Amino acid sequence: MHEENKAAPNGCGKIRSGTQKEAALLALMEKTGYNMIQENGQRKFGGPPPGWEGPPPPRGCEVFVGKIPRDMYEDELVPVFERAGKIYEFRLMMEFSGENRGYAFVMYTTKEEAQLAIKILNNYEIRPGKFIGVCVSLDNCRLFIGAIPKEKKKEEILNEMKKVTEGVVDVIVYPNATDKTKNRGFAFVEYESHRAAAMARRRLIPGTFQLWGHTIQVDWADPEKEVDEETMQRVKVLYVRNLMISTTEDTIKAEFNKFKPGVVERVKKLRDYAFVHFFHRDDAIAAMSVMNGKCIDGANIEVTLAKPVNKEGTWKQHFNGQISPSSENLLGFPNKEGGHQKSLGKPTSLPVRLNGQHSPGPPEVERCTYPFFPGIKLTPISMYSLKSSHFSSAAMHLDYFCNKNNWAPPEYYLYSTTSQDGKILLVYKVLIPGIADGSQSYFMPDKLCTTVESAKELAAQFTLLHLECVSRLSQLYTLFGLNCPEEEKFGIRCFGSCHKRKKNTTRIHDYQRFTLHVF
């Protein structure tokens, strides 16, 4: 076990030497019977615990813990987290100095225990004035594979992926919206573990790798949104995918009313998918069972329960894609044709991606107005003296970010092309003068827009994400007081109180709603 000579205060404000800390950890191990090992920048307590038989706990049993005081260790942390249930494994991320890195992962034996830990320990005052953050942690076992030949069938893609990577469990392929005999040019590959997926991504990520003579795109797929069981028990809306473009809402309503007339309240169709609203949940469940796999207008449809969006979520899903309280307020959106969206179910208005993972827009900005009474004193102010939370526009965020890094303002160059149906499509190239190492001074998204405003927002958004500043990754590091691992990439300074990255630190991947996974 690592021994430090440096003394550190304990929870009572006293100083503990390295020997005292080690003695406390040994006492914890003796009391609980758990083993403890340190490897790859993390210290593992348990995994499995004494007497454990069978496989590890399923997905959803692990929580992420942030803002841990750097001089706090397992002898103080484990008793706190044992209040929620039996700990299968406690992983504390460690610095070479012997201090912890401010965050940990706690795996419980059941999902219920993990949920209880979030409920009772999120924002828990671990020491006077020190509050920890606790949220769900999920492994990502799915990769997005783009630029696949559209004539390839699921079996061909599955066999090919098994040849070039290990641990492949399944391949998810969606049919083309206009020609059901073809795929959409991309697929999702499911692996048996996060490690297997990460090793596959590492093997496939170089641009020289080809499948069937094509250079493929490889990235992490967006995780599917987790919706609690209590919320799902109230859902009475079905999500219907793989419809023909020509199929109408009236046709869909008529087909779903066949098994029991008058049960459908309304239908909302968007491109090749739809939401079918029922008056009663029982009828929705029955219709899902009857209609899944049925043929409508020559297409075999897939029917599932729609997943409600968490309206109380802290982060918006898109800069320019606020979800309205209608059918679009339900998860389960398919990928737009040729859009190569890396999620199994989200709207595709303006995709926000960082390393293949969904990255939100800035924190929700208060949009209500206040009365301006005569005599109110106004003070001149620079926008650069404000906090980033005062901006809702990606373009404004980019300007703000450049200023904070002492760069010249971003320069936008507009380009256009014409679509097959005659529409003018637009894209901006963004030039950032003065990036520290000059490795890449311009950025251009791989999507075209129909309006100038959308094109500019998308370009700014794309640039910000590639600079890794306003993505959820840096927001999470700032929120939980962690070291931001990508600051040195462009010589940038992220928003918040991030510090310079130390060498050989473990890479952290942003994940769904305050969720991180260390690989």
CATH, residue 212 = 3.30.70.330
Q: How many angstroms separate the CA atoms of 398 and 338, rounded?
A: 28
Using alpha carbons only, give the angle 479, 456, 268 rounded to the nearest 5 degrees: 80
In this predicted structure, which of 27-41, 190-204, 439-453 has the lowest mean pLDDT?
A: 439-453
**What pLDDT sits at residue 179?**
84
**Same domain flag for 44 and 75:** yes
The pLDDT-based confidence of 89 (bands split at 50, 70, 90) is very high
Residue 106, both tokens: 């706690």
**Same domain flag for 129 and 193:** no
Average predicted confidence (pLDDT) for the chain: 75
> pLDDT tens digits for 122-163?
999 999 999 999 988 877 888 998 888 899 999 999 999 999
In a domain, 495, yes or no: no
Q: Which residue has the tokens 């991030």?
A: 498
**Same domain flag for 115 and 152:** no
State which of 309, 334, 367 marks the end of a domain: 309
In this predicted structure, which of 133-137, 306-310, 351-355 has the lowest mean pLDDT?
A: 351-355
**Same domain flag for 301 and 285:** yes
90 or 228, higher pLDDT: 90
**Same domain flag for 213 and 253:** no
Domain span at residue 426 reads 392-476
CB atoms within 10 A of CB 418: 9
Most confident of 136-145, 236-245, 308-317: 236-245
In a domain, 359, yes or no: no
62 or 504, higher pLDDT: 62
State whether residue 126 is helix, strand or coil: strand
In a domain, 343, yes or no: no
Alpha carbons within 13 A on the beta-carbon side of 507: 5
Nearest of 366, 316, 319 to residue 464 by alpha carbon: 319
CATH code where residue 452 lies = 3.30.160.20
Q: How many residues does the chain have?
A: 519
**What pLDDT sits at residue 491?**
43
Q: How many angstroms separate the CA atoms of 416 and 455, rounded?
A: 10
7 or 455, higher pLDDT: 455
The secondary element (H helix, E strand) that includes residue 396 is helix 394-404
**Same domain flag for 40 and 128:** yes
152 or 358, higher pLDDT: 152
> pLDDT tens digits for 414-449?
999 888 778 889 999 998 876 644 444 678 888 899
Residue 461, both tokens: 């958004």
**Same domain flag for 214 and 119:** no
**What pLDDT sits at residue 181?**
86
**What pLDDT sits at residue 118?**
92
**What pLDDT sits at residue 209?**
72
**Same domain flag for 41 and 118:** yes
Q: Which residue has the tokens 């794309």?
A: 462
Instruction: Check: pTM over 0.95? Answer yes or no.
Output: no
Nearest of 13, 130, 110, 17 to residue 67 by alpha carbon: 130
194 or 90, higher pLDDT: 90
In this predicted structure, which of 191-195, 229-233, 306-310 has the lowest mean pLDDT?
A: 306-310
The pLDDT-based confidence of 256 (bands split at 50, 70, 90) is very high
State which of 136, 154, 169 marks the end of a domain: 136
In a domain, 5, yes or no: no
pLDDT at 117 over 90: yes
In a domain, 472, yes or no: yes
Domain count, the chain: 4
The pLDDT-based confidence of 398 (bands split at 50, 70, 90) is confident
**Same domain flag for 181 and 163:** yes
> pLDDT tens digits for 222-235?
766 666 677 788 89
**What pLDDT sits at residue 16?**
54
**Same domain flag for 164 and 262:** no
**Same domain flag for 397 and 469:** yes
Amino acid at 387: K
In a domain, 492, yes or no: no
**What pLDDT sits at residue 472?**
45
**Same domain flag for 198 and 260:** no
The percent of residues above 70 in pLDDT, for the chain, comes to 70
Q: How many angstroms separate the CA atoms of 17 and 240, rounded?
A: 62
**What pLDDT sits at residue 401?**
82
**What pLDDT sits at residue 502?**
37
Beta-carbon contacts of 204 under 8 Å, excluding residues fewer than 6 positions away, are 143, 145, 164, 165, 216, 218
State which of 94, 112, 136 marks the end of a domain: 136
In a domain, 331, yes or no: no
CB atoms within 10 A of CB 166: 12
In a domain, 147, yes or no: yes
Amino acid at 34: Y
175 or 435, higher pLDDT: 175
**What pLDDT sits at residue 434?**
63
